[in-house]
Amino acid sequence: MPSTSASSSAVPIVVTAPSSAQRRASRDPFACIARTGTPSVQGDRAGHSRRGKIRSAVAGGRPPRRTTLLTMEQVRKEYRPRHKRHGREGLVSRPWQIAGMAAPMAFAQLLSVLVPISIVAIMGWMSDEAIHVRALYTPLFLLFFAVQTAFDISNQSLTALRAGRGEKDQVSAMLSLGGVWVSAGVVLAGVLSMAAPALADVLGAGPDVRGPFVLFLRWMSVANLALIWPVLCASTLRGTKRASQGSAVMLVCNVVEVGGLAGFGLGTDMGLVAVPLATIIAGGVSGLTGHILLLRAGLLHPPPGGLWRPEVLGHLLRTGLPVSLSTTVMFGMNFAFLLMLEPFGADVRAGFTTAGTIQNLVLMPGFVIGSASAILMNQQRGVGGRRRLTSVLASGLQVTLIVYCVLVPVLWLLRDSIGHLATGNPRIVEEIGGYFAIVGPSYLTLGLVYTSVMALQQTGGGVVALSGNAIYVLGTVGIGALAVHGAASPTPLYVTMSAMNVCGLVVVISAFVFLGRQDRRRHAHPGSAQAR
């Protein structure tokens, strides 16, 4: 073996060439690194890096006493960058990484917005009775959606936490949340089924649609239970940074649901029963797809400690409940806006609701970028390393800012064209254009707000996010009602909404403050931080 000049104070590291067989087996550029030395020096590594010892050995010309070839596993562990070593050293979260996770999630979210529109269109082609029943069902659909969102986000954030800790068992958390969801869903279905006749009267159902609505609500209360497993599978895949596979599960669900409804509703005489039947079939097919993807990813290991995880209840209350309440609060705000706009006529209200539907598409990037950032944050919380959560949020906000710097000017310039695409009524087109002319520029800040809110909701800051939403809603509704009272047009309300969107930047600051406190707590008490 080649060596340098002799010395009595040997440094226990040297570089040596492996055999040709070892080089062929490893195919690794670090295969030439070898470790040598006495057991005492080998065991004492406090304050020294092996890389530094290698450099000093080569530069100083001091030979070793004996040589031991490093295994490839040891080389990869010791000489890769610090942030890529054992999970407790930290995770990297660059803007491109967040954008890469957000892209497939945005596609799935886009489908979730377009699918209800497609279902309404198909039911409109089925019969007038079907579209009237669907209109009555819309507020209750939002109730089911709020429950689904609570469990979806809770499972996603909990999965990311457990994945960050290096835990292989994801089954127990999924089944625990699924059991709670099934129980809550059965109770909700029973309550709505019994209250269906009374709800029909409250919603103003006419005598010709009252009976079909009651039957439809009871069927849909049961059919929504079929979506539990695919939603949990998709959120588990997203929580383990498999966003594309999670989006594939929901893509299958949406395609099968729309296709099934078109086939059963338009191709047969099944009537309204086609809707819950298509939902049940979609849940079964997408649930099987998600199960197969989880198996292929190795995420369905047998749970070592039993199926029930009591901590899911606390996580559901901290994360899922604020998310659900935030959805409910925003629905209440939109309902209040419709009441304010009633004096201005049906065309103004139609223009406002159409603009609101388009607004959901515009704000979607803020949602998914915030959710992708939260996945990385929760994995970092599970790791318990030195990487700051605030830096992850800053990267997410950077991506959001880039997206909306492109999206907002395009929306503002094409506002009238968008109105013409949405409807042929010139009065409604004018209202859509006027709404986006005033409110559209504020989406630049509102996108940042939604990214911060989604990150807060999934990292233990649900109460902070809910408080911010409540203040925003109360301020917008209260000031907007005063501004629009006695006005000749809804312009004062739109100006108020735009101003409150800009004031929402306070939520961004609150998110940095909250996550900064979490960072300091994690650094001061690493063990307790991981447990959260």
Backbone torsions φ then ψ of 15, nearest 5 degrees: -105, 130
Q: Looking at the structure, tell me whether residues 304 and 416 fall in a common domain.
A: no
Residue 7 in any domain: the answer is: no
The pair of three-digit structure tokens given for residue 290, joined into one six-digit string: 């998600």
**What percentage of the chain exceeds 90 in pLDDT?**
25
The pair of three-digit structure tokens given for residue 352, joined into one six-digit string: 């406002």
- Average pLDDT, integer, range 41-58: 43
What's the pLDDT band for 28 if we cut at 50, 70, 90? very low
Q: Looking at the structure, tell me whether residues 251 and 378 fall in a common domain.
A: no
Domain boundary among 281, 309, 337: 309
Q: Looking at the structure, tell me whether residues 332 and 268 fall in a common domain.
A: no
Domain boundary among 277, 309, 341: 309
| pLDDT, tens only, 390-428 | 888 888 899 999 999 999 999 999 988 888 876 777 888
Least confident of 62-66, 207-211, 238-242: 62-66
Which residues is 496 bridged to in the sheet? Answer: none
Q: Looking at the structure, tell me whether residues 305 and 337 fall in a common domain.
A: no
Residue 466 in any domain: the answer is: yes
Long-range contacts of 248-253 (CB under 8 A, 24+ apart): 248/289, 248/293, 249/286, 249/289, 249/290, 249/293, 250/108, 250/111, 250/112, 250/286, 251/107, 251/108, 251/111, 252/282, 252/285, 252/286, 252/289, 253/227, 253/282, 253/283, 253/285, 253/286
pLDDT given at position 210: 87
**Do 366 and 455 form a contact (C-beta atoms < 8 A)?**
no
- Average pLDDT, integer, range 102-109: 72
Half-sphere exposure of 234 toward its Cβ, with a 13 Å CA cutoff? 27
Q: Is the pLDDT of residue 82 over 50?
A: no
Residue 473 in any domain: the answer is: yes
Q: Are strands 67-69 and 13-15 parallel, antiparallel or unpaired?
A: unpaired
Which residues is 15 bridged to in the sheet? Answer: 33
| pLDDT, tens only, 424-461 | 778 888 888 999 999 999 999 999 999 999 888 888 78
Half-sphere exposure of 77 toward its Cβ, with a 13 Å CA cutoff? 8
Which of 325, 334, 328 shows the shortest CA–CA distance to 353?
334
Helix (H, G, I), strand (E, B) or coil at 67: strand
Residue 336 in any domain: the answer is: yes
Residue 111 in any domain: the answer is: no
pLDDT given at position 42: 39
Least confident of 185-194, 210-219, 295-304: 295-304
Q: Looking at the structure, tell me whether residues 286 and 335 fall in a common domain.
A: no
Domain boundary among 284, 309, 334: 309
- Average pLDDT, integer, range 74-80: 47
Q: Is the pLDDT of residue 68 over 70?
A: no
pLDDT given at position 526: 57
- Please give the tally of structural domains in the chain: 3
17 or 448, greater pLDDT = 448
Q: Is the pLDDT of residue 124 over 90?
A: no
Residue 89 in any domain: the answer is: no
pLDDT given at position 304: 67
pLDDT mean across residues, the chain: 77
What's the pLDDT band for 384 if we cut at 50, 70, 90? low
What's the pLDDT band for 341 if we cut at 50, 70, 90? confident
Half-sphere exposure of 328 toward its Cβ, with a 13 Å CA cutoff? 14
Residue type, 149: T
**Do 270 and 277 form a contact (C-beta atoms < 8 A)?**
yes
Task: Considering only the C-alpha atoms of the chain, give the largest distance between any 2 of them, rounded to a whole number of Å.
Answer: 103
Most confident of 142-156, 323-337, 382-396: 142-156
Most confident of 318-332, 415-429, 468-482: 468-482
Residue 118 in any domain: the answer is: no
pLDDT given at position 6: 41
Q: Looking at the structure, tell me whether residues 352 and 244 fall in a common domain.
A: no
| pLDDT, tens only, 283-311 | 999 999 999 999 888 888 776 666 777 87
Q: Looking at the structure, tell me whether residues 157 and 240 fall in a common domain.
A: yes
Q: Is the pLDDT of residue 91 over 50?
A: no
Burial letters 160-195, b for 16+ CB under 10 A, else e: bbbbbbeeebbbbbbbbbbebbeeebeebbeebeee
pLDDT given at position 35: 40
pTM of the model: 0.64
Which of 394, 399, 393, 523 shows the shortest CA–CA distance to 461?
393
The pair of three-digit structure tokens given for residue 154, joined into one six-digit string: 């809770």
C-alpha distances (whole Å) from 231 to each of 157, 248, 288, 379, 456 are 14, 11, 11, 20, 21
Q: Looking at the structure, tell me whether residues 252 and 280 fall in a common domain.
A: yes
Q: Looking at the structure, tell me whether residues 235 and 383 fall in a common domain.
A: no
pLDDT given at position 387: 66
Least confident of 17-26, 156-165, 314-323, 328-337: 17-26
Residue 485 in any domain: the answer is: yes
Q: Is 241 left (phi over 0), alpha (psi -120 to 50) or beta?
A: left
* Interatomic CA distance for residues 56 and 10, integer angstroms: 11
Which of 351, 491, 498 shows the shortest CA–CA distance to 418?
351
pLDDT given at position 448: 94
Q: Looking at the structure, tell me whether residues 268 and 164 fall in a common domain.
A: yes
* Interatomic CA distance for residues 33 and 35, integer angstroms: 7
Which of 234, 229, 278 shows the shortest CA–CA distance to 255?
278
Taken in order 105, 109, 115, 118, is the CA torsion positive or negative? negative
Q: Looking at the structure, tell me whether residues 222 and 133 fall in a common domain.
A: yes
Q: Is the pLDDT of residue 199 over 70?
A: yes
Q: Is the pLDDT of residue 74 over 70?
A: no
Burial letters 480-498, b for 16+ CB under 10 A, else e: beebbeeeeebebbbbbbb
Residue position matching structure tokens 């649900």: 462
502 or 16, greater pLDDT = 502
**Do 451 and 370 form a contact (C-beta atoms < 8 A)?**
yes
Q: Looking at the structure, tell me whether residues 475 and 388 fall in a common domain.
A: yes
pLDDT given at position 223: 94
- Average pLDDT, integer, range 229-235: 92
- Containing structural domain, residue 357: 324-532
Which of 143, 132, 119 shows the shortest CA–CA distance to 195?
143
What's the pLDDT band for 57 if we cut at 50, 70, 90? very low
The pair of three-digit structure tokens given for residue 250, joined into one six-digit string: 């929901």
**Do 40 and 66 form a contact (C-beta atoms < 8 A)?**
no
**Do 285 and 143 form a contact (C-beta atoms < 8 A)?**
no
Residue position matching structure tokens 């079964």: 284
Q: Is the pLDDT of residue 164 over 70?
A: yes
